[in-house]
Amino acid sequence: MTKIYLDNAATTPLRNEVVNTMIETLQNDFGNPSSTHSFGRSAKTIIETSRKTIAKYLVCQAQELLFTSSATEATNWILRSAVKDLGVAKIITSSIEHHATLYTIQSLEKEFNIEVVYIPILPNGTLDYMVLEKEIETSSVKTLVSLMHVNNETGVILNIEQVGTWCANSKVLFHCDTVQSIGKVSFDLQSIPVDFIVASAHKFHGPKGVGFAYIKKNIVLQPFIFGGEQEKGLRAGTEATHQIAGMAKALELAYIHLEHERSYITMLKEYALEKLKTNFPEVKVNGSDTFYNILNVLLPFSEEKTAFILFNLDIKGIAVSRGSACQSGSIKPSHVLEAFLSENDLKKPSLRISFSHYNTKEEIDLFIEALQVI
């Protein structure tokens, strides 16, 4: 059976070059990076070279990057330290954020009695920017905005430059979850007014279990994990040298091939949408002006078909998603779609189809054929 993977917003396959880099590091550079002998120094050199590589492509300083196990860890650390150590008393966010953000904010609200403001979501899945601008400009206490750059379920894009400018003008901190966009669009952190961004390597064809936080120079957070002096004493634990090297290699390749792969993936998404509209004329796209590798569609199927749609596709070897992989086992509707779809539309199947440069038009044809016989 041919297997078709169309769930690249959940995770991505590793590039062969990344696998080779990790194997070489595991075999030859196994020393503890904190050790002072040659084995340790060699591993430490790989880590710092990787940091410089990532900094080069994000146009920031290497010392502004700290390695973590994931974007989830980085988000927890940034938000918690912002409240505990930087004196943030108010967080502006939205109800369609990743649960790493939402659950952390809910925990901080209970623990520290901070004010939390959720920006309304418009019927097209975007934030109400007028409300957001007003909330930022009129805030009278130390405030942080936490919003994602590309929504992981719909692909709706945040105007990161505009929001960052509003925050900078009002001296409001800005944390942006860039998990879905790092490696897929160019970043210049010297010019984008953002204080914190987070990333996970497995979203751009790197390994799972490693990510990073960008913390703008002169912002001082306190440690989230205590122990050794790794990562400037801010993130204790022996570094996974092979994963960090794999992440840097993956990001380097992502940006080397960015223009070609973005063009190819955009074509695939347009082709898939065209085929869906041809075969299912009543299909609707959830969200407007979405990111080029994510397509979230509402299919005109009955409730009976809705319950087993993913199961039936999986039997045919086709992987798509009804929402975030982090909550795919839940019977509840997607909290993202729930924020802007009608109750009737929530009963119909919405599928998130997400593409990479490894996908083909032939795979999309097979996916459409499978949908036709469900």
**Contact status, residue 189 vs residue 182, Cβ threshold 8 Å:** no
- Give every CB contact of residue 294 below 8 A, 6+ residues apart in sequence: 9, 150, 151, 152, 153, 154, 155, 180, 269, 352, 353, 354, 355
How far apart are the C-alpha atoms of 84 and 107, rounded to whole Å?
A: 12
Is beta strand 143-148 parallel, antiparallel or unpaired with respect to 173-177? Answer: parallel
Length of the chain: 374
Q: Give the torsion sign (CA, 208, 97, 182, 325).
A: positive
Phi, then psi, of 260 in degrees rounded to 5: -65, -45
Tokens of 247: 């992440």
Neighbours of 85 (CB within 10 A): 12
Q: Is 134 helix (H, G, I), strand (E, B) or coil?
A: helix
41, 46, 52, 55: CA torsion to nearest 10: -130
- The number of CA neighbours under 13 Å toward the Cβ of 269 is 25
Contact 203, 12 (CB under 8 A): yes
For 113, phi and psi rounded to 5 degrees?
A: 55, 40
Q: Would you say 170 and 204 are in contact if contact means Cβ atoms under 8 Å apart?
A: no
Active site residue 326: yes
Q: Which of 60, 167, 176, 326 is catalytic?
A: 326
Q: Which DSSP string do the residues of 295-338 spell out, in sequence order?
A: EEEE----HHHHHHHHHHHHHTTEE-BSS-GGGTT-SSPPHHHH
145 three-state secondary structure: strand
197 C-beta neighbours (distance < 10 Å), count: 30
Which residues are annotated as catalytic? 326
